[in-house]
Amino acid sequence: MSANLTQSGISQHVAHLEADLGVSLFIRVGRKVSLTEAGKKLKEFSELYLDGIDNLFEKMGKMSNELTGDVSYAMPASCLMTPHFSKLLDARKDFSRVHLKVQICHSEEVVEKLIKGEIDFGFITKLIQHKDIEQLEFAQEEYVLVGSDKKMIQNIEIKKISDLSFISYPGMDYLFETWYSDHRQSKAKIDFNEMRISGQVNDLKAAITMVQHGVGLGIFPKHCVQEYLLDRTLFSHKADTGNSKSYPIYLVKLKGVKPLARIEKVIEEFLRMKRSQYNINR
């Protein structure tokens, strides 16, 4: 158990606390335990108190020019494949005692984790509106349709795209529907769930590998497959070789919340990259 306490020891501490406060903190029904209103108030106070302690230690650390502690953020796998993550690691020498905790998940999960307080900030590849978060456009990326057969991929007729087989991976539905809306030649819409799926995997790099081996076609952010387009193990649809539309990557954080200095430092490093206007598709 945490803090070297047994389960019975924790129960005794809770009982003493309830006796001292004169209120019940938990509602116990069988094995299910939930907080009472008093318990919720105590939880809120405890979180504010711990944040205050964290702030105090951080201010003391700043006095010695040292930032310490964890910074946790999450992003889709495609964001990890941009140059920004490597650039952050290069900049980390200026705050080497900050521990980066990075989670890979799709955009909806990033927002969910942010709202639950499981991460300090995050990146998303689709705009998700929520009253408690703010989105800052961070970078732009292009989406391309790719395959391993040059002749076939470059001569695809968009109106016949439902006859083709695709690789499915987390987030592919959004990329497909976005890409298709830009390239379709009629008002007809196609739901990705209605497409032929010849392979399914929960990892972006594995999906790219499956496309390279001819299992099916895929739509990816261009920067994720750029090296394979250059070495000609993948080829893009002819409509993607011109001036394709770009879509934003957003940095998201809680609205109206002042981040701790170490979190602010990491966010500022990312924003500095944004100001440099680095093109991730080069």
The domains of the chain, with CATH numbers, are: 2-61 (1.10.10.10), 64-141+248-275 (3.40.190.10), 142-246 (3.40.190.290)
| Structure tokens given for 78 | 């495609």
Q: What is the mean pLDDT of residues 270-278?
A: 78
* Res 227: pLDDT: 95
Q: How confident is the model at residue 57 (pLDDT cuts 50, 70, 90)?
A: low
To which residue do tokens 């307080």 refer?
117
CA–CA separation, 75 and 78 (whole Å) = 8
CA–CA separation, 258 and 52 (whole Å) = 12
| Structure tokens given for 28 | 């116990």
281, pLDDT greater than 60 = no
Q: Render pLDDT for 164-175 as a digit per residue (tens, 0 to 9).
A: 999 999 989 999
| Structure tokens given for 124 | 């998303």
CA distances from 199 to 161, 194, 207, 219 (A): 17, 14, 8, 13
Residue 176 CB coordination number (10 Å): 23
Q: Considering the entire predicted model, what is its pTM?
A: 0.71
CA–CA separation, 40 and 86 (whole Å) = 41
121, pLDDT greater than 80 = yes
DSSP symbol at 217: B
Q: Are 223 and 229 in contact (CB under 8 A)?
A: no
Closest CA to 262 of 60, 45, 50: 60
Q: Number of helices (H) and strands (E) in the chain: give both, helices first.
A: 10, 11
Closest CA to 237 of 225, 251, 249: 225
Residue 153 CB coordination number (10 Å): 20
CA–CA separation, 204 and 215 (whole Å) = 15
Q: How confident is the model at residue 64 (pLDDT cuts 50, 70, 90)?
A: very low
Identify which has the larger pLDDT, 87 or 15.
87
CA–CA separation, 64 and 227 (whole Å) = 44
Secondary-structure breakdown of the chain: helix, strand, coil percentages, each rounded to the nearest 5: 50, 25, 30
* Res 9: pLDDT: 62
2, pLDDT greater than 50 = no
* Res 78: pLDDT: 93
